[in-house]
Structure 1
Amino acid sequence: MTQPKTLPAAADFATIRDWVFDLDNTLYPHAVDLFSQVDVNMTSYVAALLQTDRDSARKLQKQYYLEHGTTLQGLMIHHGVDPDDFLEKAHAIDYTGLQPQPALAAAIKALPGRKFIFTNGSVKHAQDTAGALGILDNFDDIFDIVAADYLPKPAVGTYDKFAGLHKIDTENAVMFEDLPRNLVVPKALGMKTVLLVPENEEGTFTEWWERKGEEDHHIDYVTDDLTAFLTALI
């Protein structure tokens, strides 16, 4: 069985011209725990919507996430929620835990070709996050859940729409993600795949679906330091 690489070889990325990055727990470390605020807000939204307790709301929230790719998609299908209202309330969070990352900004800027954020969140959330990190100006575009017609990763159609919209040559593109399942389609499309993992994975709480398994042959590289990984390529 071929194991994913942890150290990038610059020659392997010599033809890459489209660099595609997930947002949460990818462009910033898992330890920042920014998404936990979104998670709390989503639970509150479900509890208020269904007039139920938080434990029941969280259970349903995670069920929809697993079944539909995002809690929002499940709520739209089963409860007809207004997606804009949900996204606004889910992303009403404090971004002060994020600090500017000049080394990451320089590494992204130096990459040859185009750079994209491809997120199941909203454009505003991506702008606020990348802005706080000091890297926003280095991206050509943000493809969010609205641009995807609310059909989230890992749906095949969402990757196809993203690639078609931006005319991505998938054989010369790479995707960076923190969720293994979201790299299955990019690999099938011919993209290189890089999985971001927590720096101390064993000491960090993650749901079972967030963890890499032995069967994840669609992952080419694994790293716990995005800045160092990119810097090694330039």
Structure 2
Amino acid sequence: MERNALIQTTMENLRRNNMTAVYVENKEELKKILAGYINQGDTVTFGGSMTLKETGTYDYLKGLGENGKIEFLDRDLEGADVQCIFRRAFCSDVYVTSTNALTKNGWLYNVDGNGNRVAAMIFGPKSVLVIVGVNKIVESKEEAEERVKKIAAPKNAQRLHMNTPCAKTGVCMECMSEDRICCSYTFLGKQRVKDRIKVIIIGEEYGY
């Protein structure tokens, strides 16, 4: 399917699945959208994501926290109690993350190691903002699974310096390594709470 048609179909299906769908051309437009979803005094945190770093979203949130506009629970801060932040995320106002893949049927596919990211996407935070580069949109659930096995998981294992076969071969080997980062597999389809999950698609490529 041609790219613009694929984006349009995906957005229509996200809305059918009770998720908000927004399209922006670039990361500059993204910041304007984020500002509309994050209010003064909100408690905000995030799931690990290269997309958030590459789009400047992490720096944007950190700046809001430093300026006192939000309470920013920063898991990347030196000395941070990461496990505590993982748990506090469930009571946050806004949880910001990306997704490993987004199908044209409007399903979000994610594979987690600790499970904190997918858990918070499913339940807890009042609002979940999912930032997605166009490179993560796929035709089917099968393609979503393949994307994780051939792209997302190996690259994340390399980034995190994990001693897994995929970090060396660049493709999933269905390993049983102690360092395995693929432990919890989730597809998020139609939601009960309408518009709790807000998917922001960027017309550029970001993340794994």
What TM-score comes out, normalization by structure 1 length?
Answer: 0.35
- Structure with the bigger percentage of strand: 2
Task: Please tell me whether Structure 1 or Structure 2 has the larger radius of gyration of its CA atoms.
Answer: 1
- Structure with the bigger percentage of helix: 1
